[in-house]
Amino acid sequence: MRRFFTFVLGLAILVPLGAWAQDASQAVSTRQQQLQAQLQALEGQIQAQQKLLDIAQGQHQTLQTQIDAFDAEIKKTQLQIQAINLTITQLNGDIGVHDHTLTQLSAQLDAEKESLAQIMRQTQMLDDYSVVSVALSSQDVSGFFSDLDAFTSIKSSLAKSFDEIHSTSATTEAEKEALQTRLAEQEQLRTVAQLAKQAVQAQEAQKRELLAQTKGLEANYQKLIASTQKSAAQIRAELFNLRDSAAIPFGTALMYAQIAEKATGTRAAVTLGVLKQETNLGENLGTGSWRVDMSPNRDQLVFPFIMQALGLDPDKMPVSRKPSYGWGGAMGPGQFIPSTWACYGGFVNVNTGTCTPPSGATGFWAGPWQYVASKDRVRKLLGANVPSNPWDPKVAIMATAMLMADNGAGTQTKAAERLAALRYFAGWVGAKNPAYAFYGDGVMEFAAEFQQDIDQLAGL
């Protein structure tokens, strides 16, 4: 009997669970503080470079100010790439620590399950242990009850630990799931980092070309500026590329964007800047299948109803391929996912009459769904008489302007437009992430270029 209790007691020695949780928490906290300090330092440097860039761009255009602007842009973009890489490191570190904690918890849980099982088996033995058996055994009665008290204490401690492990494991698993959601940011961040790298290379190439063409002389620079001024006809004839749709003349794209500006308040140049930035993101353009790449519990349930209303074959329409972290299935130049398009294109859940799930609703996306012309927001603003098609350039440009206006771009301040672009890319919460700054900056840079063309066409 003594041997049994010694064996069980050995199994039931509890590894301090709090120590694991504390070590993991301390490791995360320390590393987070280090990375956050580095990130804040980088943000300060980025802001300093932006001020230099603003100064250079605000001065009279000379060869030296243009070179200063290139230098500031290159340095700022390089710092943004560092910020993106820091954020990715932060995400990976958090997830790694939680994975390690879960592994330890699982091992301890398995060991204590076995201990508990053995104690439960021996409980039956004790229950069957009669007074006669005690009397006939070599063990004295006081020793038996001493062992029995120890046995009860072990059972109580093990049960308490068992509950604690379950609770901690559930909490850690929930935290890990939240971090897995944040993993979705990584693919976006890597894409943005790649764009930033390409931008640096392009900026450096432009600087080298400028110096080669001017030989460092101001007079040559002024002649170059004069010779590169595009005519109105050239601007209108240039092609404007769109994701998952055929390119259209810039003049046509501008006309659509100006119609959208009057309807929504989003500047035409900003709408075109968003669409150009989205086109540049094109890693997963139109190479996906809705049956494979869309979220099966959300967008796959809505998409067939959209296709039915448009009279299109869902298996033939281009959608974005899903990345490694989540789901794709975005449609057209504006890259709307079906569940978002529902609220712009006039689709409602038949049971609820809404395009968004009420709080606590279950099975909402299963529908069925119905097209309601009066709820087709894009169609209303375009004055059209057919359901809105997200692959149609005119529709896509209007829908993009609408979403940007919903995100706050209608005030037409540079800060509001940049923030609206970040919300377009990363949502209202993700827009606050400094690692996404390059997307917002890219949109505003494209918008500035488009505004110059627009002003020239207007004779300003």
CATH of residue 193 = 1.10.287
Per-position pLDDT tens, the chain of length 460: 444 444 444 444 444 545 555 565 566 677 677 777 887 888 888 888 878 877 877 777 788 888 888 888 788 888 878 887 887 777 776 666 666 666 666 666 666 666 666 666 666 555 555 555 555 555 555 555 565 566 666 667 666 766 766 676 666 666 666 666 666 666 667 777 777 777 778 778 888 888 888 888 888 888 887 777 788 888 889 989 888 888 999 999 999 999 999 999 999 999 999 999 888 766 545 678 999 999 999 999 999 999 999 999 999 999 988 866 568 899 999 999 999 999 999 999 999 999 999 887 788 999 999 999 999 999 999 999 999 999 999 999 999 999 999 999 999 999 999 999 999 988 898 898 877 888 898 899 899 999 999 999 988 7
Question: Can you give the pTM of this predicted structure?
Answer: 0.69
Same domain, 333 and 393: yes
Last residue of a domain, one of 185, 214, 243: 214
Same domain, 201 and 337: no
Last residue of a domain, one of 182, 214, 246: 214
Same domain, 19 and 152: yes
225 inside domain: no
Same domain, 65 and 174: yes
Same domain, 181 and 238: no
Same domain, 440 and 316: yes
| Enclosing domain of residue 257 | 230-457
For residue 239, the cross-strand partners are 249
351 inside domain: yes
How many domains does the structure of the chain reveal?
A: 2
219 inside domain: no
223 inside domain: no
220 inside domain: no
Same domain, 388 and 451: yes
Neighbouring C-beta atoms of residue 400, cutoff 10 Å? 28
Exposure string (b/e) for 123-155, b if CB count within 10 Å is 16 or more? Answer: eeeeeeeeeeeeeeeeeeeeebeebeeebeebb
Output the six-digit token pair for 47. 């802001």
Same domain, 273 and 197: no
Last residue of a domain, one of 214, 239, 265: 214
